[in-house]
Amino acid sequence: MITPFVPLEDEFEDVIAKTMRGRHISESEVVERSGVPADIVARICRGEFCDEGALPKIASALELDPDALSLLAGKAWAPKSVSLDGLAQFNTPYRSMRVNAFLVWDPQSKKAAAFDTGADASGLLSAVSELDLSLEALFLTHTHNDHIADLEAIRDRLVMPEAVYSNEQEPWPGTKEFAEGDSFSIGSLKVETRTTWGHSVGGTTYVVTGLDHPVAIVGDALFAGSMGGGMVSFNDAWETNRQKIFTLPDETIVCPGHGPMTTVGEEKRANAFFAREFR
């Protein structure tokens, strides 16, 4: 299937704002730590890329990678387009944003699973019909409204309607709960579960192996060039990403809840939250 063009979810100012909010750092503290004048800090926090020399100082003050943040601010980076037989992305509008759902299938057996629903699952379900797939399961990365908005439409198309799964740390009514480390099968494919919490209490990364490349469906734990807001715990969101996503092979395709697909290798190089760990 043709992968749709999906723009980056976050701009450089979003990365700065998430860091300041998550680490409880005020603008005045950024000024003090970076030595950048207050008016420049304020403009950069509003999204004005007004001083290239100031941005690396602000990045360092916030423990972000200066090179990666500058690439993002200069619009000099986007992840390479991803195409993989057995994987499709569906990006649908939800209020003022857009949200992803993914379809994964075993090309041999034609058995498939959906990961999240997006705001409108009609495109995903049309693909199931067009590809003559058997939709075996629905896996939820987390239970925020935009990711489960069309749950019943997918449930109605499952071979077994009860095969909807959620993490036991973040259960959803009418789903089967699993514990971290539990695994599932999609035909000959294996699905491993890793709890990557912090954005939500039971956020889950599903690691799928058996296709030409490993796939990690991460929900809002990680975005291309950014990460989800640490709505429960920023520090734990950062740490579980580092331990459970960035330890995957570089060629692993990362399927986020918002924005374009990317790879672990791309994020090691260009994600301002994490790149300094891999220099």
Q: What is the mean pLDDT of residues 120-147?
A: 98
Q: Distance of CA 80 to CAs 123, 232, 260, Å? A: 23, 31, 9
β-partners of residue 222 are 227
Q: Which of 185, 166, 187 is nearest to 175 (CA)?
A: 166
- Identify the H or E element spanning 98: strand 97-105
Q: In this predicted model, what pLDDT tens digit does every residue of 37-65 receive, in sequence order?
A: 999 999 999 999 998 899 999 999 999 99
| Residue 146, pLDDT above cutoff 90 | yes
Q: Quick one: what percent of the chain has pLDDT higher than 90?
A: 97
pLDDT at res. 93: 97
Tell me the pTM.
Answer: 0.97
CB atoms within 10 A of CB 175: 20
CA–CA gap between residue 134 and residue 104 (Å, rounded): 11
Q: Which of 104, 102, 73 is nearest to 226 (CA)?
A: 73
β-partners of residue 102 are 89, 115
Q: Quick one: what percent of the chain has pLDDT higher than 70?
A: 100
| Residue 2, pLDDT above cutoff 80 | no
- Structural domains of the chain, with CATH: 12-73 (1.10.260.40)
End-to-end CA distance of the chain: 35
DSSP string, 201-244: TT-EEEEEESSSS-EEEEETSEETTEE---TTTHHHHHHHHHHH
| Residue position matching structure tokens 């715990």 | 233
